[in-house]
């Protein structure tokens, strides 16, 4: 999915158990693991969402309506419920904008890192990847940022970052602590492609952009984004365990 935004407690618990057991996670979207939702066997097919407190939203929950009718849990953002997306996929929702998408700038040090295998067969154009796609590039619409302050693992390898956005790409409201003048370009408006190992021999690859999917099919899937994705799929399908670095 390019936009796995809504997760129930049961869903998130199942994913966490999978990761603890050495499961591999490819997160190929943006704005994932954001809102807490609920389901009920009494109403099959219905999903309950309470947009409580904060977050990027087109409506907000009314006073006294922040708890789910299905199960009684407090709704809102998972970040506000103590389970930020950074602890799931290493990145968290950073900015939203629906103008033209852009490219990622590669991180040169990653070519000599333990994640160098992800670059096999990839030939960046002037240090860039994902320079075209359905929305204009591989980085756009909604993007996620690597941030250890919010729970991202310190041992993650940043492969590439996107910062060259138009003025429509704006930092998420939960990132503001008050009404402040923002210096442009905003350093918090950034999308990061990352890789890291997890306990039990697992690993995570996060593309951190909804527009990543829109760049996969360029030139009949003969392109840098498709090659990187293919490299990760093949390695993640290999049962050989990943080894986290010594910290």
- Per-domain boundaries in the chain: 84-237
Mean pLDDT in consecutive groups of 10 residues from the start of the chain, 247 residues: 95 98 98 98 95 85 93 96 98 97 98 98 97 96 98 99 96 81 86 97 98 97 98 98 90
pLDDT value for 138: 98
Residue 157 β-bridge partners: 195
pLDDT value of residue 179: 72
Start-to-end CA distance of the chain, whole Å, equals 32
Quick count: other Cβ atoms within 10 Å of Cβ 97? 18
pLDDT given for residue 134 in this prediction: 92
pTM of the model: 0.95
pLDDT for position 70? 97
- Cβ neighbours, 10 Å, residue 74: 13
Relative to beta strand 92-102, strand 139-145 is: antiparallel
């Amino acid at each position: 999915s390019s936009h796995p935004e809504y997760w129930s407690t049961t869903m998130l618990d199942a994913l966490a158990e999978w990761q603890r057991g050495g499961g591999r996670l490819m997160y190929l979207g943006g704005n994932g693991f954001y809102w807490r939702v609920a389901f009920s066997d009494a109403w099959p097919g219905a999903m309950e969402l309470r947009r409580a407190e904060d977050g990027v939203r087109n409506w907000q929950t009314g006073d006294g309506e922040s708890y789910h009718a299905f199960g009684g849990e407090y709704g809102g953002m998972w970040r506000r419920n103590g389970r930020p997306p950074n602890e799931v996929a290493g990145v968290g929702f950073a900015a939203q904008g629906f103008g033209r998408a852009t490219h990622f700038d590669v991180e040169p040090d990653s070519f000599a890192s333990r994640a160098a295998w992800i670059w096999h067969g990839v030939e960046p154009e002037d240090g860039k990847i994902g320079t075209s796609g359905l929305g204009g590039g591989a980085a756009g619409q909604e993007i996620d940022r690597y941030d250890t302050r919010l729970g991202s693992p310190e041992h993650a390898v940043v492969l590439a970052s996107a910062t060259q956005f138009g003025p429509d790409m704006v930092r998420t409201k939960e990132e503001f602590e008050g009404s402040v003048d923002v210096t442009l370009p905003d350093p918090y408006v950034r999308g990061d492609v990352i890789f890291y190992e997890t306990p039990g021999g697992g690993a995570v690859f996060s593309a951190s952009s909804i527009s990543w999917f829109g760049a996969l099919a360029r030139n009949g899937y003969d392109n840098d984004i498709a090659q990187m994705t293919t490299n990760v799929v093949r390695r993640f399908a290999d049962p050989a365990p990943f080894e986290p670095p010594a910290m």
